[in-house]
Chain A
């Protein structure tokens, strides 16, 4: 094995990929890039951009979005990591069936997820009365926001982490154990580092998904400033009264998302990635 891999010296022939791919790529980039650019241009053109950014609504929403999504991601990590590991290493029929169910929340419309959670945890939901007896009411609280985010974001993390764990051949873990390292330490010392690119990528995707959560949140948690009004909800609310505020909030959310993705993307790069 040599590094870097030898480049093929010959010139590549015009392939079907180039003939159809190039125009499609340009078209797609325009389709995505133009609206983003339009958003930035309009936001830059307005007078009160900075004051809109530092408005009470914006800061409160940003704080709530970051706070809830961080808690959501902690929950996703805590539950998703062992679950993803189990899915990756166990091949029983039961787990394989479960494997396809994991992705259900990805295809489920978030609004439906919100309704479903109301039916489960709402005041008139299945668990509503017993929870009420304990003095707990989940809907329309910040906890409900976290519930909604975990519901929609977790599958992105679990799916990616599972692929990461699968990429670590069992022989690595076997050898680690024969070298006197316990299974628990092997997991942290070997498996997690080797799976880290996929784990981090999944983490970034899930976090971005949690930050952008709208449908399930507004259904299950409502739209109360300071309590359940996250950034996407604040943008939606602002659209009804002031386009400028909505623009400023949108740019802010865009920037947070890009920084997040880029940061994790950099962290996830590994020199040995192709060598497992």
Chain B
């Protein structure tokens, strides 16, 4: 049973949108994409704060917008909780009164009791009479969550709730949010442009670009092994190679790709583009490999299951938290992610010859919308 679903479409200048979604009870749907891609507008339209030309929005089994039936429920009757990047706690009210602000007067649980429980749940005891600007970033976020939940929402809309926090606090609060979401199973739409956040919190993901959904699926699939060049560049896939299909092995589900002086074994793609599925089985494909999926070795690795082994010379070493990015020139520049400890233990330095090892299943095919952008075959 879907708890919220719908579609929106708008073509007005500055408000171009084409999106549809579905999110279940206790599920987090990530809206991922660069800023200006229409993620926030989507949230605001679902909340009833802006009105797109066409669409249909269902929240908790109620239709709150249907352009065909001329249904429009105003924001204050939609029962959504909306969290902005900067929280926007009301500065003229105390913590307790901020939380009580939207708590319904008529409810199964009395208002005061509800506020008390939320204060307890979010560990805000003792801060009830505090001014909101006296709170730390994390406390402010907890107040914002408590305030949103006090109004008994049937859908939570989170607009980059971690954007204004530093990296360490962000990680802590992300874990907190996850446990909180399991405790109160409200469906959640989470806007972010942080890949880590999307992977850590999302059950499913929509990738936005220029107001449209360009990719959807499980966060790991969509963002970890993105199937489109557009998305791959958005999330920063470190290695993208334009290669020619040399031979296919359907029984094994793999194929051999060559070009640029390298030879890779990759999964047989189900690409429908005419490039990858020419009758002769040949054609050009773009193969992506995450730098964190690559293992570096000083000796030639033998007797292991990983199908891809490339030798190259280290040309660059860059810090890239949490570790270092090593660039290995093996005909093509191959980027591998290693920890600081591995770097010093192996004594990796530029000019050194190393082996790069990765599994065939770490390779994924990326569909190119517009050719160019990645280097062609040598």
Q: Which of A2, A175, A181, A272 contacts B92 (CB 8 A)?
A: A272
A185-207 to B contact mask, C-beta < 8 Å, 1/0:
01000100110000000000000
B102 CB–A CB distance under 8 Å: yes
- Determine the residue in chain B with the shortest Cβ distance to A194: B92
A177 CB–B CB distance under 8 Å: yes
A228–B77 CA distance with the chains assembled, in angstroms: 52
Q: Which of A171, A179, A270 contacts B86 (CB 8 A)?
A: A171
Q: Measured between C-beta atoms, what is the minimum distance from B228 to chain A in Å?
A: 33
B74 CB–A CB distance under 8 Å: yes
Let me know if A179 and B148 touch, CB within 8 A: yes
B75 CB–A CB distance under 8 Å: yes
Let me know if B91 and A276 touch, CB within 8 A: yes
Let me know if B91 and A275 touch, CB within 8 A: yes
Let me know if A179 and B151 touch, CB within 8 A: yes
Q: Measured between C-beta atoms, what is the minimum distance from B80 to chain A in Å?
A: 5
Q: Measured between C-beta atoms, what is the minimum distance from A1 to chain B in Å?
A: 5
Let me know if A172 and B77 touch, CB within 8 A: no
Q: Measured between C-beta atoms, what is the minimum distance from B127 to chain A in Å?
A: 14
B123-141 to A contact mask, C-beta < 8 Å, 1/0:
0000000011111000000
A176 CB–B CB distance under 8 Å: yes
Let me know if B88 and A178 touch, CB within 8 A: no
B282 CB–A CB distance under 8 Å: no
A272–B135 CA distance with the chains assembled, in angstroms: 13
Q: Measured between C-beta atoms, what is the minimum distance from B76 to chain A in Å?
A: 5
Given A3-B133, A3-B134, A271-B131, the answer on whether A178 and B78 have CB atoms closer than 8 Å is: yes
Quick one: which of B47-76 are within 8 Å of A by CB?
47-49, 74-76
Let me know if B49 and A180 touch, CB within 8 A: no
A47–B137 CA distance with the chains assembled, in angstroms: 66
Name the residue in A2, A3, A272 with the highest tally of chain B Cβ atoms < 10 Å from its Cβ: A272
Let me know if B133 and A193 touch, CB within 8 A: no
Let me know if A171 and B148 touch, CB within 8 A: no
A180–B102 CA distance with the chains assembled, in angstroms: 6
A270–B131 CA distance with the chains assembled, in angstroms: 12
- Determine the residue in chain B with the shortest Cβ distance to A196: B92
A174 CB–B CB distance under 8 Å: yes
Name the residue in A172, A178, A271 with the highest tally of chain B Cβ atoms < 10 Å from its Cβ: A178
Q: Measured between C-beta atoms, what is the minimum distance from B193 to chain A in Å?
A: 19
Query: In the assembled complex, which residues on chain A have CB atoms less than 8 Å from the CB atom of B267?
Result: none
A183 CB–B CB distance under 8 Å: yes
A169 CB–B CB distance under 8 Å: yes
Quick one: which of A231-276 are within 8 Å of B by CB?
270-272, 275-276
Let me know if A179 and B92 touch, CB within 8 A: no
Interface size on B, residues (CB 8 A): 33
Query: In the assembled complex, which residues on chain A have CB atoms less than 8 Å from the CB atom of B104?
Result: 180
Given A171-B88, A183-B76, A190-B90, the answer on whether A177 and B133 have CB atoms closer than 8 Å is: no
- Determine the residue in chain A with the shortest Cβ distance to B135: A1
B22 CB–A CB distance under 8 Å: no
Let me know if B133 and A275 touch, CB within 8 A: yes
Let me know if B131 and A182 touch, CB within 8 A: no
Query: In the assembled complex, which residues on chain B have CB atoms less than 8 Å from the CB atom of A179?
Result: 76, 81, 101-102, 147-148, 150-151
Name the residue in B47, B74, B75 with the highest tally of chain A Cβ atoms < 10 Å from its Cβ: B75
Q: Measured between C-beta atoms, what is the minimum distance from B24 to chain A in Å?
A: 21
Query: In the assembled complex, which residues on chain A have CB atoms less than 8 Å from the CB atom of B157?
Result: 178
B82 CB–A CB distance under 8 Å: yes
Query: In the assembled complex, which residues on chain A have CB atoms less than 8 Å from the CB atom of B150?
Result: 179
Query: In the assembled complex, which residues on chain B have CB atoms less than 8 Å from the CB atom of A270?
Result: 92
Query: In the assembled complex, which residues on chain A have CB atoms less than 8 Å from the CB atom of B77?
Result: 180
B277 CB–A CB distance under 8 Å: no
Q: Which of A169, A182, A190, A193 contacts B76 (CB 8 A)?
A: A182
A156–B32 CA distance with the chains assembled, in angstroms: 47
Name the residue in A3, A179, A182, A271 with the highest tally of chain B Cβ atoms < 10 Å from its Cβ: A179
Let me know if A180 and B133 touch, CB within 8 A: no
A190–B97 CA distance with the chains assembled, in angstroms: 12
A198–B7 CA distance with the chains assembled, in angstroms: 42
A108–B272 CA distance with the chains assembled, in angstroms: 73
Q: Measured between C-beta atoms, what is the minimum distance from A24 to chain B in Å?
A: 35
Let me know if B102 and A181 touch, CB within 8 A: yes
B339 CB–A CB distance under 8 Å: no
Let me know if B76 and A177 touch, CB within 8 A: yes
Q: Measured between C-beta atoms, what is the minimum distance from A268 to chain B in Å?
A: 13
B44 CB–A CB distance under 8 Å: yes
Q: Measured between C-beta atoms, what is the minimum distance from B95 to chain A in Å?
A: 13
Q: Which of B44, B80, B81, B91 contacts A272 (CB 8 A)?
A: B91
B84 CB–A CB distance under 8 Å: yes
Query: In the assembled complex, which residues on chain A have CB atoms less than 8 Å from the CB atom of B88?
Result: 169, 171-172, 175
Name the residue in A3, A172, A175, A275 with the highest tally of chain B Cβ atoms < 10 Å from its Cβ: A175
Given A3-B131, A3-B134, A272-B131, the answer on whether A177 and B49 have CB atoms closer than 8 Å is: yes
Query: In the assembled complex, which residues on chain A have CB atoms less than 8 Å from the CB atom of B134?
Result: 1-3
Quick one: which of A62-118 are within 8 Å of B by CB?
none
For the complex with contacts A171-B88, A177-B76, 10 further pairs of A-B residues with Cβ separation under 8 Å are: A172-B90, A175-B82, A177-B74, A179-B148, A179-B150, A180-B79, A194-B91, A194-B92, A272-B133, A276-B91
Q: Would you mind naming 17 contact pairs between A and B with Cβ atoms under 8 Å apart?
A: A3-B133, A171-B84, A171-B86, A171-B88, A174-B47, A174-B49, A177-B74, A177-B76, A178-B102, A178-B148, A178-B151, A178-B153, A180-B102, A180-B151, A181-B76, A181-B101, A275-B91
Return the 9 tightest CB-CB contacts between A and B, nearest first.
A179-B102, A272-B91, A177-B75, A178-B82, A275-B91, A179-B151, A177-B76, A171-B88, A275-B133
